[in-house]
């Protein structure tokens, strides 16, 4: 089973919730997957013992200027402008940050041996264990523009075993999030009871409905007074499955990397109940 934890707005408590779920899933074979590859933080709370660190690479073109005839076919076919050929000075230029690793250049090059594809590292996959929890994290190299290939790589190659997957996605609603939600069985949406939280929750709900996913809302930093999330939840028919009260103590514990179920053990029962509820759906 694949439970994705998402939030439109950053800082609402995705990692707080996802790590709490993983720590509460003691009866299951649980794998925590940190797909917030731009800013992965799950390790701060789970303190895993890392056993493997695997470089993640993409195929990118390498042009041999001695064989290249500077016909410019590759440059003209690249829809991302990642290659520039300069015939007057017989130079080939490659812009790695524009390359999407699609293979078009290699496919269209008419000259044998002029263009080959080589591996280029864009990030790392770290694998380890935290107690009984299997820990997988994607970490994008700073300066790389897109974490999407790394996220896809982890989902395709490292999540094919039987497990309860708790997946922490990135904030927002664009492609890294789409990738993280696409194969999920259930999406937990974490929000805050204020206009910013509601605004971004609306966007994420649009996405969840587009993808046809079952979902539930967790309201974090709940002040017990605001009703804007409840009202919205009824409008869109997505239930609020948990409210975490606003508490300076939780914030302080969080700031020291202490998971919620450790600083407030009574919450463990609630997270256990959520996992049971999700696994029992038809």
Partner 1 sequence: MLHGGSFFKKRPHWPPEAKMKNFKEIVIISGKGGTGKTTITASLADIIPDKIVADADVDAANLYILLKPGNIRDKDFTGKSKAEINKDLCTNCNLCRELCRFHAVEFNNGHYRVDPYSCEGCGLCKIACPAQAIEMKDQVVGKWFVSDTEFGNFVYARLIPGAENSGSLVTMVRFQAKMAAVKKDIKTILIDGPPGIGCPVTASITGVDLAIIVTEPTYSGISDLERVFDLTTHFKVKSGIVINRFDINPGNTKKVESFAKENGVPVFAKIPHSQCIMEEIAKSSLPSRKCKPLARAIEKIYEQIKNELL
Partner 2 sequence: MKVLIAVENNAGLDSILDKRFGRAGYFLVYDTDENKILTIQENQFKNDGHGVGIKTATFVIENGCQAVIGAQPGPKAAAILVQANVKMIVDDKGTVKEALERHKQELTV
Residues in contact with partner 1, total (CB under 8 A)? 72
Choose the stretch contacting partner 2; rule: CB under 8 A; options: 20-28, 33-41, 90-98, 169-177.
Answer: 90-98
The Cβ of residue 263 has, within 10 Å, a number of other Cβ atoms equal to: 16
Q: Is 39 in the site for partner 1 (CB under 8 A)?
A: yes
Q: Which structure tokens are listed for 157? A: 């190659």
Q: Is 48 in the site for partner 1 (CB under 8 A)?
A: no
Q: Is 95 in the site for partner 2 (CB under 8 A)?
A: yes
Identify which of 28, 19, 5 has the alpha carbon closest to the alpha carbon of residue 218.
5
Q: Is 111 in the site for partner 1 (CB under 8 A)?
A: no
Residues 25-84 that bind partner 2 (CB under 8 A): 75, 80-82, 84
Q: Distance of alpha carbon 235 from its chain centroid, rounded?
A: 28
- Provide the b/e sequence for 132-151 (b: ≥16 CB within 10 Å): ebbbbbbbbeeebebbbbbb
Residues 165-194 that bind partner 1 (CB under 8 A): 170-178, 182, 193-194
Give the list of residues 6+ apart from residue 50 with CB closer than 8 angstroms, or none: 126, 127, 128, 135
Q: How many whole angstroms separate alpha carbon 38 and alpha carbon 44?
A: 15
Identify which of 255, 269, 214, 251 has the alpha carbon closest to the alpha carbon of residue 236.
214
Q: Is 203 in the site for partner 1 (CB under 8 A)?
A: yes
Q: Is 175 in the site for partner 2 (CB under 8 A)?
A: no
Q: Is 86 in the site for partner 2 (CB under 8 A)?
A: yes
Shortest Å distance, C-beta 91 to partner 2? 5
Choose the stretch contacting partner 1; rule: CB under 8 A; options: 35-43, 121-129, 157-165, 267-275.
Answer: 35-43
Q: Is 132 in the site for partner 1 (CB under 8 A)?
A: no
Q: Is 187 in the site for partner 2 (CB under 8 A)?
A: no
Residues 236-275 that bind partner 2 (CB under 8 A): none
The Cβ of residue 266 has, within 10 Å, a number of other Cβ atoms equal to: 7
| Residues at the site binding partner 2, with contacts judged by CB under 8 A | 75, 80-82, 84-89, 91, 93, 95, 98
């Amino acid at each position: 089973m694949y439970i994705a934890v998402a939030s439109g707005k950053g800082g609402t408590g995705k990692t707080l919730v996802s790590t709490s779920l993983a720590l509460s899933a003691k009866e299951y074979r649980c794998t925590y997957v940190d797909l917030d590859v731009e800013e992965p933080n799950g390790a701060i709370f789970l303190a895993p013992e890392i056993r493997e660190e695997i470089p993640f690479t993409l195929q990118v073109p390498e042009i041999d200027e001695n064989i290249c005839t500077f016909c410019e076919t590759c440059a003209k076919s690249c829809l991302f402008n990642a290659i520039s050929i300069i015939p007057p000075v017989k130079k080939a230029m490659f812009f790695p940050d524009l390359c999407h690793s699609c293979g078009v250049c290699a496919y269209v090059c008419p000259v044998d041996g002029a263009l080959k594809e080589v591996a280029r590292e864009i990030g790392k996959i770290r694998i380890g264990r935290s107690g009984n929890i299997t820990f997988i994290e994607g970490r994008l190299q700073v300066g790389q523009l897109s974490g999407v290939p790394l996220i896809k790589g982890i989902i395709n190659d490292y999540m094919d075993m039987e497990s309860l997957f708790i997946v922490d996605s990135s904030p927002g609603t664009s492609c890294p999030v789409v990738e993280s939600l696409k194969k999920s069985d259930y999406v937990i949406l974490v929000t805050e009871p204020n206009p910013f939280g509601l605004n971004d929750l609306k966007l994420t709900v649009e996405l969840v409905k587009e993808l046809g996913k079952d979902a539930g809302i967790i309201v974090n930093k709940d002040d017990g007074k605001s009703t804007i999330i409840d009202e919205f939840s009824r409008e869109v028919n997505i239930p609020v499955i948990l409210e975490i009260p606003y508490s300076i103590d939780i914030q302080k514990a969080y700031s020291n990397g202490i998971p919620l179920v450790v600083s407030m053990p009574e919450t463990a029962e609630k997270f256990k109940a959520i996992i049971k509820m999700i696994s029992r759906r038809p």
